[in-house]
Amino acid sequence: MSQKVQIPKKKDLLTPLVSPGNVRIVEVGLRDGLQNESHSPDVKVRRELLHQLVKAGAQSLEVGAFVSPKWVPAMACSEELVEAVLVDQKNKIISENVQLSVLVPNEKGMETALRLGVQEIAVFAACSESFSQKNINCSIEESFQRFDVVAKLATAHQIKIRGYLSTCFGCPFEGAVDRSLVIENVQRMLDLGVYEVSLGDTIGVASAGDVERLLHPLLALVPPARLAGHFHDTRGQALVNILKAYNMGITSFDASIGGLGGCPYAPGATGNVATEDVVYLFNSMGVNTGLNLERLVQTNQWLSQHMGRKLSSRVSLANLSKSTIKMKGEMS
């Protein structure tokens, strides 16, 4: 690990990140979003996207994944991108307060993270065996054994760890997922030293009632500051899930600019909830996200040109469409 990278004090590793009255949006467009796109833009465009998102107020961003490009071609050059933006941060082009994280699936990825001086990593596990096998080619138990190695290395080097739990609300192969297994996996991740577990609705099947049924028993055991919501918008329910989770005390949510991750040729296959749509919701509630909606819409517009298609954020589409009836003051 480079000595030039600021090392956080040990106590910081598990400090909750959201001030009272605020919501933290973790921008996952560059990783979870782009990884599902058939044509991911090159490093130069991804770096510029990160800069634009930071200018729009993003404080937490996932930059890429140290996975094999054979498995996830869209994440190719993550190393080059991460190195570049860490230099940008060292040179104060990106504020040192901005949290940049990288998905790290195994020890090899962790070694890359250490070499580059990454200050936050993310690990992931599934809540159904079939999904774990098909997605990362190992059992849930084996995935936790891998994370154990990764987490020990990270903690020893004072690197923060965020955890993703996928298929928390349903598995495409097994159907309903046992909530007690989800709760057990959350606990297990926290035991590894993860500061926050992001509960993923990987196939976008949950709605408000499902969120309540999972969070009710979970919050009896785990403080809300240790949990985040990660909702895909496949059935248009992501925002109600966020509202429900927020009303139950969750204040950290993943989102991706423009709802990146959808496939333009498959209308039903959508990505994460769009950052713009989440910010629109919280703006109306007077809850501070730190993000500037107008700049996000402009970033969407810029990125759409690079992607060669319209991105799926409803707020951006409404703002950029000439045919939408707009409120006075909206962009036209």
Cβ atoms of 315 and 299 within 8 Å: the answer is no
- Structure token digits, residue 247: 């009303």
∠ CA(26), CA(15), CA(243), 5° rounding? 40
Assess whether 263 carries a catalytic annotation. Answer: yes
Rounded Cα gap, residues 193 and 226, in angstroms: 11
Q: Does 20 bind a copy of itself (CB under 8 A)?
A: no
Q: Does 210 bind a copy of itself (CB under 8 A)?
A: yes
Rounded Cα gap, residues 206 and 182, in angstroms: 14
Q: Which residues within the stretch 293-312 sit at the binding site for a copy of itself (CB under 8 A)?
A: 310
Choose between 193 and 302: whose C-beta lies nearer to a copy of itself. 302
* Minimum distance, C-beta of residue 239 to a copy of itself, in the bound complex (Å): 5
Query: Binding residue for a copy of itself (CB under 8 A) from 237, 275, 289, 298?
Result: 237
Q: Report the 10 Å Cβ neighbour count for 165.
A: 25
Query: Binding residue for a copy of itself (CB under 8 A) from 73, 209, 217, 249?
Result: 209
Choose between 209 and 249: whose C-beta lies nearer to a copy of itself. 209
Q: Which residues within the stretch 29-58 sit at the binding site for a copy of itself (CB under 8 A)?
A: none
- Structure token digits, residue 204: 């976008």
Rounded Cα gap, residues 25 and 198, in angstroms: 12
Q: Which of 191, 192, 209, 211 is nearest to 201 (CA)?
A: 211
Query: Binding residue for a copy of itself (CB under 8 A) from 173, 178, 184, 217?
Result: 173
Cβ atoms of 239 and 278 within 8 Å: the answer is yes
Q: Which residues within the stretch 113-172 sit at the binding site for a copy of itself (CB under 8 A)?
A: 170-172
Region near a copy of itself per CB under 8 A, out of 64-72, 147-155, 185-193, 313-321: 313-321
Give, in order, the Cα–Cα distances in Å from 295 to each of 42, 47, 53, 96, 279.
22, 17, 8, 21, 11
Q: Which residues within the stretch 244-273 sit at the binding site for a copy of itself (CB under 8 A)?
A: 244, 247, 263, 265-270
Region near a copy of itself per CB under 8 A, out of 52-60, 67-75, 116-124, 208-216: 208-216
Rounded Cα gap, residues 256 and 8, in angstroms: 27
Choose between 20 and 286: whose C-beta lies nearer to a copy of itself. 286
Which residues are at the interface with a copy of itself (CB under 8 A)?
170-176, 202-210, 212, 233-237, 239-240, 243-244, 247, 263, 265-270, 274, 277, 280-281, 283-286, 310, 313-315, 317-329
Residues identified as active-site? 263
